[in-house]
Structure 1
Amino acid sequence: MEKTFRGLNNIIVECNYSQEILDQKLADGATTDFLRNRIFKSHMNLATCKDLLRANNLTNVNNIVLIHLSDSNSNAKQFQAEITACTGKKVYVAEAGMVIPHFNKQPF
């Protein structure tokens, strides 16, 4: 990963789609090449999100919040589980009105 960040304590990151889900929708005729390519070029997928998180020092990270999940090309429970397994951190999937406890620099 080319870009890394220092001093992370809470992370809000896009995790828009699964390449596998998007490819299956294309194979099933449920989406078009045009839409697939637009999504591919303009949104972060699950694999790239995991690569980004792995590339950074997460020692002081308290929470990771996944945002901008696609309604039709993502699976919130799967994404949350995979990012949790990848990072060992508390992972939330953003929802309207959500309040995250201890969303500050110190976890207490």
Structure 2
Amino acid sequence: MSHRTAPEHTHPDDVPVETALAALADPVRLSIVRELSTSEEWSRSCGTFDVPVGKAALSHHFAVLRAAGLVEQRDIGAKRVNRLRREEFEHRFPGLLALVLREE
């Protein structure tokens, strides 16, 4: 049985605004954040997102989102599930998430 290393998370309080903006500037990551914003917490595993990238690239995008304090992940069995850190991120960057989540 293989055991994955638990993902490392950066708390939004420790994230510079440039890091948050860079994470949200990428269309794939923005799509992930938007999908998470309308999903129940911990209900979405990494493979359930409708994004045009392979598994390795998807892992990278989730790592960037974790480093920016936007996403928290945990392993449940063989799946890694996600939640948007909406409250913590909003506390650090008031209004930013609401701006990027608005549909054009």
Do they fold alike, i.e. is TM over 0.5? no
Decide which structure has the larger Cα Rg and report it.
Answer: 1
Q: When the two structures are superposed, what TM-score results if normalisation uses the length of structure 1?
A: 0.29
* TM-score (norm. length: structure 2): 0.29
**Higher-helix-fraction structure:** 2
